[in-house]
Amino acid sequence: MSEHFDVLVVGAGISGIGAAYYLKARSPNRTFAVLEGRPDIGGTWNLFRYPGIRSDSEMFTLGYAFHPWTDNKMIAGADAILSYLNDTIDTYGIRPHLRFRHRVEAASWSSETNRWTVSVTRGENAEKAEITCNFLFMCSGYYDYREGHSPDFAGREDFGGDIVHPQKWPADLDHSGKKVVVIGSGATAITLIPSLAETAEHVTMLQRSPTYIVAGPSEDRLANWARDRLPTKTAYRMSRWKHVLRSQFYFSLARRAPRFARDQIRKGQEALLGPDYDYDKHLTPKYNPWDQRVCLAPDGDFFRVLKSGKAEIVTDTIDTFTEGGIKLDSGQELDADIIVTATGLKLLFLAGIPLTVDGKSIVLSDTMTYKAMMFSDIPNLALSFGYTNASWTLKSDLTGEYVCRLLNHMSEQGHGKCVARLTDPSVSNEPFLDFSSGYITRALDSMPKQGSKSPWKMYQNYALDLVAIRYGKVADGVMEFS
């Protein structure tokens, strides 16, 4: 016989642990389990092991609303984040609900029973099992944990050194005294390079085109001051809202006055690198700020290693790998002992799990997202998906709250099924994410759509979502109950 739970949460990263908290706190009479395919918690922060791995959002908003971040560093390394997540689990009694090495293979919904049947493999021997639930809460992140995006570079097999992807960093890789070329210019490269430069002979960031990079402090002195003088939760709420409003202000400014935003970013870079650097070639993208995510260099570490000469940026395209490095289309050759392909992620929506509803296979790209957390015509299923212009956890917190409100409403009204129905002909399709980053554009065709107006539209605005999700009606005429 299969086990049954009121709610199954898939994923034990930031979203899944948060979901478990909200289920315990807001819907305490429900049974639930958190399924995690890996042998430990943490998701991203457990998977990535490359040097210098850290948050690219400050921890006042990447941390949970309900569990204060109390470390002095607001830009935190993976070990500190994992410690925080473990502390959250133990503080709120979540650990008994975690089930590791439970990999979800498929999920099918039956309207006859109002249940999901979830097929899993579990344990080291991948034993097959089925678990049923009334509600499926997907907290599995948004990218493929099996492999990252790695282009098929010509001559790859000719290279005589090590080629590594940050998603599969070898524990025994020694880069001390080596020449390292990092291909890519996203957040991973910006994080890696200062750490590699500490002991490498030289590090080169090879980019096809530039990324916006800004320096910011790794500590918030005002927040640390407030925490020493105010109750912990009060100080945390103040710091959290400060950073929410600050990030929203800069995002809105960049969208409304992109030229001004570009100028301000350039001024900040000039203050660190001086006036003679070739900013137009190496640090000025063709797109506007926040058309793609802006990268953070805490305490200016990335600019510091550039100025010291321990690292450099080369902007060019690759002709071929050679035995001793990389030959570029310009004819320049880069010597390398190690090549790091920091070339991005592969998006994987809903962990790639095949879904069927009453025997019919679901094609996600044919659906539309409701409040950016549920899908048209898919019953009793929610997705936790964070912001692209702010921290992931701001949205995952709201999603956890909403799912509990939804479940409690269904219990109060005696409903067993909820499903968002698109019946408004004036709602038109729009891409799920309005972002031009490569890892997103490569996956848009496989993603669901968003709509042109509420509740189908994603506003990427925490304040708007807070009002709509926390205080908006659950029975809004779009969510159908039975």
Write out pLDDT tens, residues 280-305.
999 999 999 988 889 999 999 999 99
Identify the helix (H) or strand (E) that includes residue 19: helix 14-26
Q: Is 80 helix (H, G, I), strand (E, B) or coil?
A: helix
pLDDT single digits (tens) 264-276: 999 999 999 999 9
Tell me what pLDDT residue 436 has.
65
pLDDT band at 1 (very low <50, low <70, confident <90, very high): low
Boundaries of every domain in the chain: 3-145+346-481, 156-341
β-pair partners for 103: 121
Q: For residue 163, what are the CA distances in angstroms to 169, 189, 209, 325, 336?
A: 10, 15, 21, 10, 10
Assess whether the region 3-145+346-481 and the region 156-341 belong to the same CATH fold. yes
pLDDT at 439 over 70: no
> Class assignment of domain 3-145+346-481?
alpha beta
In the prediction, which pLDDT does 223 show? 95
Check whether 147 has a pLDDT greater than 90.
Answer: no
* Residue 91's pLDDT band (cuts 50, 70, 90): very high
Could you tell me the pLDDT band of residue 432, with boundaries at 50, 70 and 90? confident
Weakest mean pLDDT among 13-22, 292-301, 395-404, 439-448: 439-448
Which range among 188-202, 257-271, 341-355, 403-417 shows the weakest confidence by mean pLDDT?
341-355
Query: Which of 246, 230, 437 has the alpha carbon at shortest distance from 346?
Result: 437
What is the share, in percent, of the chain residues with pLDDT greater than 90? 87
Torsions phi, psi for 290 (to 5 deg)? 75, 10
Residue 61, pLDDT > 70, answer: yes
Q: Are 389 and 8 in contact (CB under 8 A)?
A: no
Q: How many beta carbons lie within 10 A of that of residue 356, not counting itself?
A: 15
| The predicted structure's pLDDT at residue 345 | 83
Mention the CATH class of domain 156-341.
alpha beta
Greatest mean pLDDT among 93-97, 151-155, 454-458 lies in 93-97
